[in-house]
Every structure is written in C-alpha cells, then in structure tokens.
Structure 1
Amino acid sequence: MPSQADEEAHQLSYLQKHLANILYLLSEHVEGESEESLVLTMEGFEHLGFLIQFGDKGSGGVPLSQAAPFFANSDPDMSAAPVPVSQVHDWLLQTIASSLESITEKVSAKENGSPSGSDQDIAMADASPSSAKASPSARSPCFVEGVSKSSYVKQASDLKSSSVKVINCHDSTIYILAPLRYAIIYGCSDATIVLGAVGKAVRVEHCERVHVIIAAKRVCIANCRECVFFLGVNQRPLFVGDNHKLQVAPYNTYYSQLEEHLTEVGIVSTINRWDEALSISVIDPHDSLSHPAGVSDTQSESATCLDPDQLTNFLIPNWFENESTGSTKDNPFPLPDAYMTSQQRNVNALSLNEDDKL
C-alpha cells in the first residue's frame, strides 16, 4: 500500500499536470486593448481551496487568497483586482515543484534512517503546497482495509484517531459512526459505507458501485463509477477526474448520537448543498489511474440527482442499545419537498396495503 508521502506526491503531480485546464475553467475573459486575456478573481481563486491547502496539516490552515502574494494584502472591504491567469499558473507551478522536492527529501531522509515525526491526520486537499510539520500529538489515521462480504462497525469509543481510511473493501456494509476530521474511501466496490460526522472533508476515489452515506463539511469525489452518494454537506460537492454514472441524493439516515457528533465537528444540518455539485472533469488519457486501460475515451459525466421515488430511508441497526446515550430520533437534514412528498406517498401506499390484508 502506498505511503502518505507517495499519495501526496501523486496528488501534487496530478494537480501539476492538469493545473492549466483547471485555471481555465475558473477564469474570466477580459477584453484588452488589442487582444482577449484571461484573469482570475479572488473569488475564483478561492475555489481552488477544494484542491489546495496551505498551512500545517492538522491545523485549520490559512485562506488560500492570503497565502498568495497577489491577493494577500487585499483590503477585505474592497473587491480585489483580478490577476492574470498566467501569473497564478506560474506561481502555483513553482509552489507545487517546491513541495514535491520537499516530499522527495523527506522520503530520502526516512530511507536513510533519519528520525522523523509521527504521521499526521490526512490533508484532504489534492495538494498541500506548504510542507507539513510533524506534530508529536498528531495520530495516524485509523485504517479499515480489505473487508469482504461482511459487516463492519466502528463507534467513537473504538477510534483513537480523528481520521479514517476505508480502503479496498468489497461486498460489505461498513459503519463508521463517530465524529471525525477527515475520511478517505478508496478502491471499494459493491459496498455500502456510512460515515458519521466529518468536520473537515471526505474524499472518495476509484470506487465502483458503492452507496456512500456522508454527513460532512465538504466532499470530493474522484474517478468513480456507478455510485450513489447520499449527502448532508455544508459546501458544494466537488467532482474531479473521470467519473461516470454517478448519482447524488439527500442524506437518508441517522443514529442516536448523530446530532451530538454534528455539533461537535461544526456541521450545520439546516444547510445541505447536496445538489449543487461543482464538476472539474479533466481527463488525461495517458493517466493510468484516472483513465485505466480498456476504458473508452468518453467525456467524464456530471452526477445526476436520484429520482425522488427511489429514495428510501437507510436504517442503521442499534447494536449497542444499552450503551446509546444520544437523542437523535430522526434524520436531522430536512428532505427537499419532492423527496418528502414521495416518501409520504410511499408510506400512505404501504398503509393501504396493510389495511387490505386485514
């Protein structure tokens, strides 16, 4: 399994390769004296915060615009002047190259037996251009790996870390019912995965035919196929890479301590932007990870909304009834009207069927 340094290096290289296209998608056209030029506003630049994080891992980081020299000293009460895309592109490439060099030096030092700090919580951006400083108090992520044809449950009392990685799990149902900071779901198929409250971000990558139920501040989905995501998210879901046949739906479950966990990590259940997906679908046909051999050269697809008639409530078994102290009795994320109407119609139809049997 690749190390965290290997993952970071791959993510940085991927971003480096596709940076020009990403900036083009975020840019605006401005008429110059004799030719059209591309510029990036501070608001557009901040959208890169989905992919790039500055500051020590494990900390809240700093706003992206304050880390960049061209926006750092902007007056907060005034709109900052747009910056040429070429200037942003050059600065980011230089920063990414510096970070890749730093990662290489750390790996070399580790291979040569030099002491290093303990692992840290996962940075859930595609890149972290500033070098992370190891913190003695940081904990390694909890791994849920290789679960096959079974059910797996973790509660808050079972976890010693605020970060979780669910990797290569197949034909299974996995419950992580705990307050978390970060979570990664990678390489899973034909599974249902339920995450508790994730206060920073969730990344789902290279998964096929999975149902993922997530309550999180933000979520990034990359290179997935035939998956359904039931989301309770405070920020727009981000879709990157080569995605196909994905569906999104409103959050559809609860467990007894869910509201307590949402409050603990700072998620507001009255705000759910599940259907406001932001898609950055940049595909490199020569990238073996995002475009595997045998896959046709088709354009990546945007996620579609699940038909309201297909949404059902997902019931989490209460295995620990005697230990449960939470007060959550229902889904804390309000359902949109169309989904609520459909559910009520299904309940009424079920009641009529029961009456007919009597």
Structure 2
Amino acid sequence: LIGEEWPSHRARSPSPSEREAKISYQNRNWDDQAHLSFMQSHLAEILELLAEPGQLSPSGQAQRDGQISREAVRSLGLLLEGAADHGKPVQPVHRLLVKGPLQTQAGYSTLSRSFPLHTLLSCLQRSLTLIPFGITACLNSGKKQIWAQQVEGAMKRAMIARNTHMAPAGSKMVLMSQVFKQTLAETSDKLTGASIKIHRCSEAFIYLLSPLRSVNVDKCRDSTVVLGPVQTSVHVHSCQNVRVVCVAGRVAIGASSHCTIHAMTPTRPLLLPGNTDITLGPFHTFYPSLEDHMASVGLAVVPNVWDQPLILGTDGLTSSSNNPPSSQDTAHKLLPPSEFHTLSVPFQMEGDTCEVPGGLPPAYQAALDEKQKRIQSWQKTVMEARLNKEQKRQFQELVELKFHEWLLDTGHRQELYSLIPPAVTSLEDPKEAATDTTRVKDRKHSRTASEEG
C-alpha cells in the first residue's frame, strides 16, 4: 500500500501524507484513531487487493464494473466490524453488508453473491467511524476513576478511565496513564474480562488482581505490574526497567530494555525485535483467589513454557530451540536461581490459594531453601551469642540502620511507604463507598509517595 504499513508501535512511513501528519501528534498514542485514518486513506487499495485478477486493469487499478465476492469481503472481518444500529450486537462486516439497509447501499447481489467494487467502496467510506469502545471513546466518554492521586511535582496528571459500565463483553477496557510514584491496587468486577492499557507509568507499583482479557504495558519505566490471570495476551512494548508478573495465555515483549518477566504461560514467550537485557523468570507469587481466577479464564499450571522463548528478529524467527540462550544471545537470559526471590502480594483478600500454583521449578525452589537455611543459621548464631540487653539494643539499631540503607539503595522504601492507605480520605468512588467499605477484596489502595525525598 504505497510503502505504508498498518499503524503500529513501529515508525510510520517516512513520508506521511499531510493529513496523517496533522493527526500524528494529537493521536500518536491512541491506535484506534490511527487505524481509522489508515482505513479511510487506503480502503480503495485494500478492496483492490480482494478483487480477482481478472477484475483489474493492466495497471492494477480496479475496473469500473469490477465485482468482489462475498467470500473475499469476509476477509475484511480482520479489520472491520460493526452494528446495524446503536445497541445492536456487533457483527463481522460481511454479515452487515448482506442484509437490511446496507445490502442495498453496498449493492450486494444474492444471485452472484458479490458486490460492485465501487458501490461497496462508497458504502464503506460513508459508514466508517471510530470504534465506540476504543481508547479514544474511553477517554472521552468513559467513567473516570480516582484510584490514583496526583503527585506533587509530577508534570502530567494521572488518568484512569474505563468503559466497563457500558461496553459489551469483549470490548470492555480500562486505561491507566501517567501513574507516577504510587501503589495502585484493584480487584473488582470492573476489571473482570476487561482489556487493560497501562501507558507511560513511572516508578509505580500496580496490582490488578482480577481475571483479565488482555493487557498492554506501553512506554512505562521503573515500575512493577502484578496481574491476575490474563485470558489472551500480555504485550510489553517500549518499556524500561519494568517487572511484569503474570499468568497469561501468551506473553510478548518488544522494543524494551532491562525488563524482567515472571510468567506462567502455556505458549512460548515471544521476544520481538528491539529488546535488550530481557530476563525471564518463573511465576513467583499468589493471592488467595488466584486459582479460581485461573479457572475462570481457562488457564492451568501445565503446560508452562515460560523458559522457552521464541525470538523474532527483523528477518523472521531467529531462534526456536528449547535450549537456554547462548552466550551470543544478549537480548535475553533466564533468571539465575541465585537471584530468585518470591513476591508477596501485600493485601488481604478472600480465597483458598496459599502457595504458588504448580509450585516452583526445582532449581529455584532449591535456591529458596538454601536462603532459608542461611536465615535459620544466622538466627541461631545470634541466639548463641548470648548478648546482654545493651548489646541487643545496639545490635538491633545496627540491623535497622542497614535495612533502611538497603531500602533506599534498592528503591523498596517507596514501595513500602506507598502501601500505607490514606488516614482520612477514601479513594473509593463516592457512590460505591457505602457498599464497598466492608469488602476488603473490593477496596482501592493508593497513596502518594511524594514525601519520600
């Protein structure tokens, strides 16, 4: 299509049209706007690709009387879907075009089971509109949430919006953008079955502990994202120093650096081009309702191939072996067991899960056991030292000093402090506060960390 690609995270065409240049700044982060512009600009060329070779002129242009079969139009379902009217069920585009008013407008013939190309083009051009449940619509008309607070000194305001109160199943979305230096935690029906977009968050700790449909983590840095089971895919793109912990149908990482992915997945993690220093580790946490949530989205503990990535280079698949990464492969590595620690979810919830589902890989469990032995040995040494009261006090002060120094050096102090809920103000939705205060599992936990300086 004149050298231009479908809008994606990758760079646009080096010579965009004047119209595309006009919208590129305003909507560069919201793909649904770019997708609409692309379809409006290239719909004629797309339909020509669907026409039979005999329907095209020697120059490759569609003839005025060209026809497109219903089967060919069916393939447009990859790009287009819609509804006959507001409130009507969403259907693939080929079904909408063969019945009702659109059948006449598109010129569909039940005898030839085909459409006149130019009539179909005109019909689609008149009918194309922005997806009503996309990111732009969620920002414009979705319900704004106050799960996060504005942090003093932050350049941009945190924005969280959702359309889950009005979108049909499969189109529910929650958008989180610009969350900065905060811990944000949520588990509720608002998240269940939703697609999550986490965008440009920095120095944040995000816990979304509900069964989810899909998750995109885009342009985030220095953050931790802990997810409930994700039915389809988790996609991490253009992130730096981000840790993602998930059970997911598929995991993909692209154009990211210094990121760690702790995953349980039945499909091999996909490493897209542009990655640097990606670490893959086993899923290493749990929360009480995790196994129930896994069952609800159809995910189990086996198979689990978190340590068998597929590496996709610019020229296609560059590695498909099950062997550990070689010394020549610097884009990713498996987490060394000596560096492994489990993650504790710091919230009280209801449920029966009390350990990592399926257990840990033997090498990582052995490493944890060895660490536990060292802790026990240290405790025994302290007890046998027979310190007097003053020595115990000095020893305790020294340990606490070293611990606080470690918290500062590692950045964990912010994580701990941001877990403290606000003492006076509640961040719950006003209409929901009366019904949710007694349910720990539906509470929102958030606190700014601006006072850490």
Q: TM-score, normalised by structure 2?
A: 0.48
* Paired AA for residue 270 in structure 1: V
Cα–Cα, structure 1 residues 233 and 55, in superposed 2: closer, same or farther, change >3 Å? farther
Larger Rg: 2
Match of 2:357? Answer: 332
Cα–Cα, structure 1 residues 4 and 226, in superposed 2: closer, same or farther, change >3 Å? same
Matches of residues 174-193 of structure 1 in structure 2 within 5 Å? 174-193=206-225
Report if the CA contact (8 A) 1:281-1:300 is conserved.
no
Cα–Cα, structure 1 residues 109 and 308, in superposed 2: closer, same or farther, change >3 Å? same
Match of 2:250? Answer: 218
* Paired AA for residue 30 in structure 2: S
* Paired AA for residue 348 in structure 1: K
**Alpha-carbon distance in 2 for matches of 1:206, 1:175:** 20
**Alpha-carbon distance in 2 for matches of 1:157, 1:205:** 27
Match of 1:308? Answer: 337
Q: Which runs of 5+ in 1 are unaligned?
A: 13-52, 59-100, 111-115, 122-134, 284-298
Report if the CA contact (8 A) 1:253-1:316 is conserved.
yes
The 3-state SS of whatever aligns with 1:312 is coil
Post-superposition shift, 1:183? 0.8
Residues 90-141 of structure 1: per-residue CA shift (max 9 Å, x gap) = xxxxxxxxxxx99x959x943xxxxx663269xxxxxxxxxxxxx9724341
Post-superposition shift, 1:57? 8.1
**Alpha-carbon distance in 1 for matches of 2:241, 2:311:** 20
Report if the CA contact (8 A) 1:142-1:160 is conserved.
no
* Paired AA for residue 288 in structure 2: S
**Alpha-carbon distance in 2 for matches of 1:165, 1:156:** 17
Q: Percent of pairs identical after alignment?
A: 25
Question: Deviating runs (4+, > 6 A) in structure 1?
Answer: 9-12, 55-58
Match of 1:263? Answer: 295
Report if the CA contact (8 A) 2:195-2:212 is conserved.
yes
Residues 274-296 of structure 1: per-residue CA shift (max 9 Å, x gap) = 1110010218xxxxxxxxxxxxx
Match of 2:168 among 137, 154, 163: 137
Cα–Cα, structure 1 residues 242 and 350, in superposed 2: closer, same or farther, change >3 Å? same
Matches of residues 1-358 of structure 1 in structure 2 within 5 Å? 1=27, 2-6=29-33, 105=125, 109-110=128-129, 118-119=132-133, 137-138=168-169, 139-159=171-191, 162-282=194-314, 301-318=330-347, 321=348, 324-358=349-383
Post-superposition shift, 1:199? 0.8
Match of 1:31? Answer: none
The 3-state SS of whatever aligns with 1:179 is coil
Report if the CA contact (8 A) 2:234-2:251 is conserved.
yes
Report if the CA contact (8 A) 1:198-1:217 is conserved.
yes
The 3-state SS of whatever aligns with 2:246 is strand
Cα–Cα, structure 1 residues 240 and 357, in superposed 2: closer, same or farther, change >3 Å? same
Match of 1:43? Answer: none
Structure with greater helix percent: 2
Cα–Cα, structure 1 residues 7 and 163, in superposed 2: closer, same or farther, change >3 Å? farther
